[in-house]
Copies of this chain bind each other. A is one copy, B any other.
Amino acid sequence: MRRDRLLLATTLTLVFTADLYFVLLPKLQDFRQAGGPGCVCARGNDSLPRQGGLVSPRLSNSTDSLQDSAESELDDGGSKLDRLFDHPLYNIQTPVLGPEERLLQAEQLVAYYQKKVSRWERHMEMYNEAAAASNITVPKHKVTFDPEVSWLKFHLGINRYSLYSRQDPAVGQLLRDMHDLTIISADYTQDEKALKGACDCEQVVKPSGHHLKLALKMNDFGKAMFKPMRQQRDEVTSEDVFYFVDFQRHNAEIAAFHLDRILDFRRVPPVVGRLVNITGEVLLATHNQDLRNVFFTSPAKNTCFFAKCLYVCKTEYAVCGKPDTLEGSLSTYLPGLSQAPRVSIASPWIRSYTFEGRKDWEVNPFFCDTIKQMYPYNSGNRLLNIIDMSIFDFLMGNMDRHHYELFTKFGDEGFLLHFDNARGFGRPSEDVMSILAPLSQCCMIKRSTLMRLRLLSRERYRLSDVMRESLWGDPLRPVLTEPHLLALDRRLKRVLEVVRGCVRELGEEQVVTTDYARSTDPPWTSTVAGEGAQR
């Protein structure tokens, strides 16, 4: 608990300093109406003076720091992404973590996976014997379990603040590994298996067969979810398509990971693009006969596979390699639910998944007032986290955020996972303002989030530029077309406009909220049931 207090104190100090620096100082400057020769007056100055690699915020209104902010608007042509990640706002250190603040304990996890590898090896021995008996040649892969593998490091790095830390070298290694390593098996995901071939058709408009995602296992025993390319980069989803029947876009998954990292949320599990040989790496790698059965050769002699439902056949939805090679996104798996249970909660701003229906939030202008009174939104950061998520979704135009998930271990104060982003980046010309409803209706935002958004709206750190640069590192570059990148800047402006509108109406104090407010609620154990009931 001491660590918590220390963290709280550090954060409050930092936020207070930054507030003084960004709000009071510019006002003072405006008041003076004076600038030195060559001084370009930057609107909104979000740079903190740095000392070495560590942040040591200090209140300063010396010419020195002003000069720094003045020059900052001139683009020196260097890497904007490096500049962003070097910025003090992106270098606030997380305090040393106690065991309770980490999601997993190393020893237990390693033991668990060693057991799983042994089981896999036994299973493969039996499978290979059976295959040999049936005269089927099966590619054999050596699997060795190494406690130093990147995916395990990523799992062990998950803590109460985020999925990974900013400088964690395991994340870069994990992206490279997901791209490079041999795929040793492919299967349907648990979701698909749960459906058992039945189309999920409770509601007349539920999607049915758009999901062609697969679980791939690598030879380091890492697992990734594969979403194949369904749409060309420059194809724009028709305006008549409902968000819930829209294609899942592999490039949206990749771009969402980068966007989330750039926004410094770090709540999206790492995603990388990969060219997959669907014959060698899926058809021949799977041990699931059902999956094998949905493969076919197209009239153009390409290898394809389709989604199969009990009563319909989905060749119309087939995806095809060229002739075997298919682009896709690989999202790393989180630790299994047995190791790290998660809870899935319907968003208060969930949309109606029917043609006609309207949800309360769409018609009730006082919706947020009700929500603010309700557990778990009546205290702590939950509502602010949802607002963070709505900003993230608005920037990429994702309307399909019906549920959010969090790790049960971190209780009510845990961060929200920004899962399943494949329906973002559909229409670059459109800004779906209703996605921002949590922000615009509640008129609240974390100060730290707002500061980063302001930073990203500046020329020196422009969101579209840092995104372009970040995405250039992905093997499937260019991941997004220019219209999608430029839409990010336009939407960011609109987010800041909404915040300005709120501040005008309610005052900054009411709107811009200090992070890490303490929850006064009972511990998580007693709250899961409450949230479960809400679903």
Q: Is A164 an interface residue (CB 8 A)?
A: no
Distance in Å from the Cβ of A393 to the closest Cβ of chain B?
A: 16
Answer yes or no: A210 CB below 8 A from chain B CBs.
Answer: yes
In the bound complex, what is the Cα–Cα distance between A298 and B246 (angstroms)? 13
In the complex, whether A299 has a CB less than 8 A from a CB of chain B is yes
B245 touches A320 (CB 8 A): no
Residue contact B311 to A312, C-beta cutoff 8 Å: yes
* A302 at the binding interface (Cβ < 8 Å): yes
Contact in complex: B318, A240 (CB < 8 Å): yes
Can you list 7 contacts pairing A with B, beta carbon distance less than 8 Å? A199-B312, A208-B313, A238-B300, A240-B298, A240-B318, A241-B298, A296-B356
Q: Which residues of B contact A238 (CB under 8 A)?
A: 300, 320
Q: Indicate if A117 sits at the interface (CB-CB under 8 A).
A: no
- With an 8 A cutoff between CB atoms, is A148 at the interface? no
**Chain B CB within 8 A of A394 CB:** no
Q: Are B239 and A299 in contact (CB under 8 A)?
A: yes
The answer to whether A241 and B201 have CB atoms under 8 Å apart is no
Interface centre among A199, A296, A312 (most CB of B within 10 A): A312
Q: How far is the CA of A209 from the CA of B315 in the complex (A)?
A: 12
Contact A355 B240, beta carbon cutoff 8 Å: no
Q: Does chain B have a CB within 8 A of A83?
A: no
10 additional A-B pairs beyond A209-B316, A241-B299, A309-B312, beta carbons within 8 Å, are: A205-B315, A240-B298, A240-B300, A240-B302, A240-B304, A240-B320, A241-B298, A242-B298, A242-B299, A245-B315
Complex alpha-carbon distance, A313 and B209, angstroms: 10
- A206 CB within 8 Å of chain B: yes
Which residues of B lie under 8 Å from residue A356 when comparing CB positions? 296-297
A243 CB-CB contact with B under 8 Å = yes
A297 touches B208 (CB 8 A): no
- Residue interface bits A179-205, CB-to-B below 8 A is 1, else 0: 000000000000000000001010111
Contact A243 B299 (CB under 8 A): yes
Q: Are B315 and A312 in contact (CB under 8 A)?
A: no
- Determine if A363 is an interface residue (Cβ-Cβ < 8 Å): no
User: In chain A, residues 303-335, which have Cβ atoms closer than 8 Å to a Cβ of chain B?
Assistant: 304, 309-313, 315-316, 318, 320
Instruction: Say yes or no: A355 contacts B297, CB within 8 Å.
Output: yes
A side interface size, CB within 8 A: 35
Instruction: Kindly state the separation between the CA atoms of A241 and B207 in the bound complex, as whole angstroms.
Output: 21
CB distance A296 to B206 under 8 Å?
A: no
Q: Which of A205-223 contact B (CB under 8 A)?
A: 205-210
**How far, in Å, is A206 (CB) from chain B's closest CB?**
7
- For A313, the chain B residues whose CB sits under 8 A away are 201, 203-206, 208
Q: In the assembled complex, how far is the CB of residue A16 from the closest CB belonging to chain B, in whole angstroms?
A: 44
Q: Which parts of A238-270 form the interface with B (CB within 8 Å)?
A: 238-243, 245
9 residue pairs, one from A and one from B, having the closest CB atoms = A239-B300, A240-B298, A311-B311, A296-B355, A240-B320, A204-B313, A208-B312, A312-B312, A245-B315
Q: What's the Cα separation between A396 and B439 when bound, in Å? A: 55
A298:B206 contact, CB within 8 angstroms: no
Assembled-state Cα–Cα distance A62/B56 (Å): 107
Measured between beta carbons, the chain B residues less than 8 angstroms from A205 are 313, 315
A240 x B201 contact (CB < 8 A) = no
Residue among A210, A242, A245, A313 with most chain B CB within 10 A? A313
| A482-B278 Cα distance, complex, nearest whole Å | 37
CA–CA, A201 and B315, complex, Å: 12
Query: Does A311 lie within 8 Å of B240, measured CB to CB?
Result: no
Q: How far is the CA of A463 from the CA of B204 in the complex (A)?
A: 47
Given known contacts A296-B355, A355-B296, A312 and B242 CB-to-CB distance under 8 angstroms: no
Select A239's contact among B199, B209, B242, B298, beta carbons within 8 Å: B298
